[in-house]
Amino acid sequence: MKRRDFLKAGAVTAAASALIGQTAVSHAAQESGPAVKRYTEIGKTGLKMSDISCGCGGLPSASLVLRAIDKGINYFDTAPDYGKSETYIGEAVKGIKRDKIILASKFCNPLPYPAHLPAGTSKDKYIASVDDSLSRLKTDYLDFVFVHAIGEADKDKDKELKRLLDDNMLSAYDALKKAGKVKHLAVSSHGPTNMEDLLMAAVDSGHYDLIMPSFNFMKFPKIPDVLKEAKKKGVGVVAMKTLAGAKDMNMDFKGADFAQSAFKWTLKHPEVNGLIVTMKSVADIDNYLSASGQSYTEADERVLNQYASLHGSSYCRTGCGVCEGACASGVDIAASLRYQMYFKDYGMERRAMESYALLNNKAEACLTCNNTTCTGACPYGLPVADMLRDTHQTLTFNV
């Protein structure tokens, strides 16, 4: 991507974000249209969350948070490496009774994503990361603090297990809980490796009150076993990545709405307490909340089948990772394609390019590689080699 094109796109995005904020302010007092219809207890925490809740990775303004709250959304998932997300939430909730909302953040640094604290981080740094989040959020405590994106930092399961069960992290969490700064420990994962095994280890460990897996109608056949075990042990489940890539969101489904159908599919599972989804506008909030409290129907099934037939051969199931062992250059295939999804389908251009730049093994090697074993290894028939070449060209500045 040319630098001038990126800067132009950034200017358009900034202008759009300002407009979104103004629109949210002008409508904030209007309590009409779709709203949250169902709240469910998160495991055995005693906290009840809106079934459709706000993932704040692309949060454009504080006013949008207020609009979400007006509509009944009470769970907000943020992180220090989500840009100004924590600051916007802090501006929005400072005048709201604290027990009316649920705030979740992460053990990480305020750097471009991903900035997760690695295993072996000192206890003091774990505590400091939460203190800094509390300062930005203008609150005294977090309802949940996450060990974020387990299975992403390293392909070696044992190394990620060390991050999951790090003694310094657990000691810091105990200290934070005793100080009243954190209520519950949580873990999230969208892969690309060992997601099911790592989340099951979290459930079995007894340390975690909540897991957040990627979970949608197009991937992760082993996740249901993890969800059942979590429910059995009273561990909460909040789903993410429920839109299966969010491709072609404006398709005509003959009066139906793809996002609503995808949400209803996820929420029909009794183990799932709720889901988070990125909300960037008032229109998103109203559209998504139309699925709150609604049952999954045959019409929804038809919508998802249509979507799968159109996009199943171009959507990388980022928790799969099967093809990565076939790459002689060790390219971080799943992470690269996930950042491409953020850029093309989620509209998160800056975050995608910054995160891709931090990868150790980018897809540059794919530009001159004639080996297509990665494509042949994909169980879903994706043209992996071609997708990686396109990813590198899209997410890399050509000065």
Read off the pLDDT of each residue in 226-234 and give the average, rounded to a whole number. Answer: 97
- Single-letter amino acid code for the residue at 394: T
Read off the pLDDT of each residue in 56-62 and give the average, rounded to a whole number. Answer: 93
What homologous superfamily does CATH list for 20-305? NADP-dependent oxidoreductase domain (3.20.20.100)
pLDDT at 250 over 70: no
The pTM (predicted TM-score) of the whole model is 0.79
Q: How far apart are CA 276 and CA 263, in angstroms?
A: 10
Asked if residue 242 lies in contact with residue 300, where contact means CB atoms within 8 angstroms, the answer is no
Which range (155-169, 215-229, 238-252, 302-316) has the least confidence?
Answer: 238-252
Q: Which residue's entry shows tokens 């990126």?
A: 6
- Would you mind telling me the total number of residues written for the chain in this entry? 399
Q: How far apart are CA 286 and CA 342, in angstroms?
A: 22
Cα distances (angstroms) measured from residue 204 to each of 35, 164, 227, 367: 36, 12, 12, 43
Task: For residue range 337-376, list pLDDT tens digits in order.
Answer: 778 877 776 677 877 787 788 777 888 888 888 887 888 8
- As a whole number of Å, the CA-based R_g of the chain is 20
- Rounded to a whole number, what is the distance in angstroms from the first to the last CA of the chain? 9
Asked if residue 81 lies in contact with residue 358, where contact means CB atoms within 8 angstroms, the answer is no
Share of the chain above pLDDT 70, in %: 86
pLDDT of residue 374: 84
pLDDT at 13 over 90: no
Q: How confident is the model at residue 25 (pLDDT cuts 50, 70, 90)?
A: very low
Q: How far apart are CA 85 and CA 278, in angstroms?
A: 11
Which range (80-94, 191-205, 230-244, 305-319) has the least confidence?
Answer: 305-319
Cα 247 from chain centre = 16
Task: For residue range 179-202, list pLDDT tens digits in order.
Answer: 999 999 999 998 777 889 999 999
Instruction: Work out the mean pLDDT of the chain and round it to a whole number.
Output: 85
CA atoms within 13 A on the CB side of 55: 18
- The DSSP result for 15-48, as a single string, is HHHHHHHHHHHHHTT---S-----EEE-TTSS-E
The CA-based angle 374-375-380, given to 5 degrees, is 115
- Single-letter amino acid code for the residue at 31: E
Q: Where in the chain is the domain with CATH 3.20.20.100?
A: 20-305
Q: How confident is the model at residue 19 (pLDDT cuts 50, 70, 90)?
A: very low
